[in-house]
Amino acid sequence: MKWLIKGGRVVDPASGTDSPLDVVLEKGKIVSVGKDLVAPADSKTIDASGLAVIPGLIDMHCHLREPGFEYKETVSSGCAAAVKGGITSVMCMANTYPVNDSAAVTSYILDRAREAGTARVYPVGCVTQGMKGESLSEMGELAEAGCIAVSDDGRPVSSGEIMRRAIEYASTYGLLVIDHAEDLAIAGDGVMHEGPISTRLGLEGIPVSAAYAEAARNISLLKEFGGRIHIAHVSSESVVELIRRAKEDGLGVTAEACPHHFTLTHDAVLGYNTDAKVKPPLRTARDVEAVIEGLVDGTIDAIATDHAPHHRDEKNVEFDLAAFGISGFETALSLTLGLVDSGRLSLLEAIRKWTTAPAAIARIPGGSLEEEGPADLALVDLEREWKVDPDQFVSKGKNTPFAGMTLKGEVVATFVGGRKVYERGKSNHQ
């Protein structure tokens, strides 16, 4: 199928473009971007006036739950939710059942993704076998099967010695190490940020130092031994500052932040709202501001969802027992546009955090509207306001602390490899 997307506001951080242009897609690629382009023979034309045309978002951090937890999400339902959110590539974490520490699991995920035929899926394999933190996974096998990164996300790599070896070993296969920075001894049985709200609610807190201690240890490994790591879901002022200094020192560290961490504080937990229970936890207004400052000054390179769908039954329980996680695909872009509306990021910068930045960090294609690149893009109505209704989520995970809120910016259509994989108003339940 050939497409002429006419008269949209083309926003492409790769070329610094932000102007009204036409885009032609053919054979799965972007063939031209320019003014007054002529529709190729047998093409369909889309009037994109009033819409932004952006590269498809690349989400470096999500949980698709398959194999093993299909009642929470499947590769198919997750990918359908992703493209509804304008996300065309996802990196899915390894804490499935069985965990992704083998070529068999990686291939299984890739097969499901091919069948689903919507978003591109890039599996993340385990750092350690069985995600037990004891011995390194077979990274060569994982890379060969299609993993592009390794992480024990959901859990840290508690042994510094194993992390040291993991950084070294992963680099020989070109795999990115994604660090879930959490010192479990410090985090203990905490269920939310440790502070006045946890005290008031009588809930056990997770101190900021749980994230700081582990991130600092990993950065000190980089300083002594070299290599690179990507720090996932940065949520606190102290970790932002740590990464800022590490970057000043020229260390191989990159970082991501999630929309919930730059939008909500621990106040969201008041009323024992289990949909606001997430790891790392929602923190103070000062931490939120620091995360935003980190995004603004480049300390935090990318934005990622940490889409963590859970079944209602795992959230409709007392706070201590509820699962950690937020279903994030379908609110991520709108929440990011909130930073544009408040004047903190330009639209180009905001889209860069979702496109060229993750593409460069994870070394995957896409993330730009450059000619000859994959025709992965989204058409977005930047002005459209909508109310978050979890029952309307395509994801099986209805667990969102944003329910009932009015957000601005809605995806109208999403293309992957030149195929329209999502159109607003048309059912794309898988």
Q: Give the residue with the Cβ less far from ligand DOR, 11 or 304.
A: 304
The angle that helices 237-248 and 208-225 make with each other, rounded to 10 degrees, is 10
Beta strands in 63-169 (DSSP E): 87-92, 120-125, 149-150
Angle at 163 between CA 159 and CA 167, to 5 degrees: 175
Task: Give the Cα separation of 35 and 144 in Å (integer).
Answer: 42
Please give the residues from 336 up to 395 whose contact with ligand DOR meets the rule CB under 6 A: none
Tokens of 168: 């070294």
- Footprint of ligand DOR on 312-341 (CB under 6 A): 324-325
User: Does residue 53 belong to the site contacting ligand DOR (CB under 6 A)?
Assistant: no
By beta-carbon proximity to ligand DOR, the closer residue of 97 and 225 is 97
Three-class secondary structure of residue 15 per DSSP: coil
Segments of 158-233 assigned E as strands: 176-179, 192-193, 205-206, 228-231
Q: How far is the CB of 281 from ligand DOR (least distance, A)?
A: 9
The site map against ligand DOR for 218-237 (x = CB under 6 A) is --------------------
In the set 6, 9, 63, 398, which binds ligand DOR (CB under 6 A)? 63
d(CA 70, CA 362): 26
Q: Is 302 left (phi over 0), alpha (psi -120 to 50) or beta?
A: beta
- Exactly one of 170, 308, 333, 375 binds ligand DOR (CB under 6 A); that residue is 308
Query: Which one among 99, 176, 229, 278 touches ligand DOR, defined by CB under 6 A?
Result: 278
Catalytic, 391? Answer no
Give the shortest CB-402-to-ligand DOR separation in angstroms.
Answer: 15
Tell the smallest beta-carbon distance from residue 218 to ligand DOR (Å): 16
Could you say which of 279, 283, 307, 398 contacts ligand DOR (CB under 6 A)?
279
Instruction: Outline where DSSP puts E strands in 197-262.
Output: 205-206, 228-231, 252-257
For residues 124 and 137, what is the distance between their CA atoms, to the nearest angstrom?
A: 12
Nearer to ligand DOR by Cβ, of 73 and 376: the residue is 73
Q: Which residues contact 425 (CB under 8 A, 6 or more apart)?
A: none
Cα separation values, 176 from 147, 266, 358, Å? 10, 31, 11
Q: CA–CA distance from 353 to each of 95, 208, 227, 299, 303 (Å)?
A: 25, 25, 22, 11, 5
Q: Which is nearer to ligand DOR, 278 or 295 (CB)?
A: 278
269 binds ligand DOR (CB under 6 A): no
C-beta of 21 vs 79, nearer to ligand DOR: 79
Q: Which residue has the tokens 């790591």?
A: 229
Instruction: State how far the Cα of 26 lies from the Cα of 2, in Å rounded to an integer.
Output: 5
Q: Does position 180 bind ligand DOR by CB under 6 A?
A: yes
Cα–Cα dist 211/200, whole Å: 23
Both tokens of 172, joined, read 């020989």
Q: Which residues does residue 397 pair with via DSSP β-bridges, in sequence order?
A: none
- Smallest separation, CB 277 to ligand DOR (Å): 7
Q: How far is the CB of 232 from ligand DOR (least distance, A)?
A: 8
Residue 154 within binding range of ligand DOR, rule CB under 6 A: yes
Residues of this chain, 93-132, that bind ligand DOR according to CB under 6 A: 95
- The correct pick among 59, 152, 153, 330 for binding ligand DOR (CB under 6 A) is 153
Go through the chain and tell me how many residues it has. Answer: 430
Q: In the bound complex, what is the minimum distance in angstroms from residue 151's beta carbon to ligand DOR?
A: 10
Pair of tokens at residue 2: 């050939």
In the complex with ligand DOR, the residue whose CB is nearer, 62 or 337, is 62
Count of residues in contact with ligand DOR, rule CB under 6 A: 10
Q: Does 61 bind ligand DOR (CB under 6 A)?
A: no
Least CB distance to ligand DOR at residue 107 (A): 22
Least CB distance from residue 349 to ligand DOR, whole Å?
A: 26
Q: Which of 22, 101, 287, 306 is the catalytic position?
A: 306
The residues that are catalytic are 306
Positions that interact with ligand DOR (CB under 6 A): 63, 95, 153-154, 180, 278-279, 308, 324-325
